Structure 1
């Protein structure tokens, strides 16, 4: 006997397959959107915080900071206008890690000693 609120196994499978199909469609749409040149500043695997910051950048409540490295290369990071220095440092670390991984594959930077492993 089934309890009144319990789902049947067939319903659970159908719900899972439906959820899986929705996830696949969402990933497909996200990939298509990220290929659009207008969204070139969106990371390949954006977090909710990344998207929120970019939306706030468009609305004027975030800023883009350009970081110039000692080798004269530069990159931009976006942070909210209310960001702390810690938030800026975390954004810079994240951007450097993404750049390094994109260029050379998996790498780990020890921020305490400044060495690359």
Structure 2
């Protein structure tokens, strides 16, 4: 099984990463840090005649991760009762990605089969 973890925290080795690393100890998985990527916020063009404009950023790395993984772990700290801003930007961008001809039906099919785990951390003490 190909497993990937997407970290939404802007702080390395924070509570979220420490918990997931403990949870995944001994399990092979790929880690992606959204703070290392340039993922632009979505401009909602769902109802525009031309659809979504192409965006020049690193979102293709996320799409490639979804196309090559069986299980995705979304790991985010809890900020103001919700996921982190980087995680929200990444998830919002899927509105355009599923309509993007570059990814076609392959992305839609992958998303339908994808298994996911969500890890949300408020504050923890690891002993």
Same fold (TM over 0.5): no
Give the number of the structure with larger relative contact order, counting CA–CA contacts within 8 Å between residues 6 or more apart. Answer: 2
Scaled by the length of structure 2, what TM-score is found? 0.21
Scaled by the length of structure 1, what TM-score is found? 0.22
Higher helix residue share = 1
